Chain A
Amino acid sequence: MANTIEVDGKQFTVDEEGYLADLNDWVPGVATVMAGQDNLELTSEHWDIINFLREYYAEYQIAPAVRVLTKAVGKQLGKDKGNSKYLYSLFPYGPAKQACRFAGLPKPTGCV
């Protein structure tokens, strides 16, 4: 049985770990609903990271591992944001894993 989540009255299929089955299905509401399930309210700081991940995937065809994400965020959004303390404060279940899930991406490559 496939798991689904409901966003604006529409059903979206997710895998057993909660990642969206087809990243082309993604709409921003997917992130909002997934965050709600994790008891998180998304702020513009969260969206910066989610959008960054979607752009990274569009360019490189993979979801980056957490240390790659940290370094790349530091370069693009500023050194104060390119550290794991900041990213974990936004995404307590792990910045790569949780933020990638909200962004509709597969589980990051290189997450052990």
Chain B
Amino acid sequence: MRLRQFFELVDVQARMSLKAEASKLYLSYLWWVLEPVLYVLVFYFVFDVVLASGKADFLLFLMCGKIPFLWFSKSVNSGSNSLVQNKGLMGQLDVPKTLFPYVTLQEVLYKQWAVFLVLFAMVMYYDNMPTLNWLWLVPLMVTQYVFIAFCTLLGAWLVSYVRDVRMLIHMGTMFMLFTSGIFWDINQVQNEALKQALLTWNPLAFMIDAYRSVLMQNQMYDLRHLGVLAGVMAAGLVLVHGLYHGQSKRIAARIVAS
């Protein structure tokens, strides 16, 4: 399958999937915006009204962490099932198996656009107007996508061997939720060694901090760190692609027989 054909297929499959999903709902595509807005409202109610955290922009702080995190967790959790879920198709068609996780990634990505727009609107509501500095979000998002793709493809491959891995992936994303500095500020960790370890070994912790630097403080993040991260993740992704390519038929045989 040629590369362009592959991209077209990923795109059409993802759109069709979203269309099918939207057709079942009365408010159809409106949910793409409604869902994140309701999400913000729930957090507002809990943290600003009930807990009365006191800090003026705590809600914004939360959302700058939670929304990029949701992109990660939704992709990885649903993408990890993508190979085993497409058992029927896999038994009838010799396609590159990377197709299935990428379709899920693309589905989540299309929806994520609306979610990011809600986030940007919220940032502006808090008087942080867009500057040219916001353009630094682009390399950040690209790196995050590569990171997500790496995790999803690896996860889906592991699940195709042992389905139990799915449980571990759920636990793993939960672990990330609490260690990536979504509810707390990583810069306030007193132990410097621990802080550095978190930033080095948890890519999401670094990325979430970077989103906040740009959106809340209108500042630059550590570009060198991002560069290294992007390089490592891209290399990992290439390796996983090699794995899928070499094992294409074995994956199909395993899933068809399961």
Q: Do A and B bind each other?
A: no
| Contacts from B to A (Cβ < 8 Å) | none
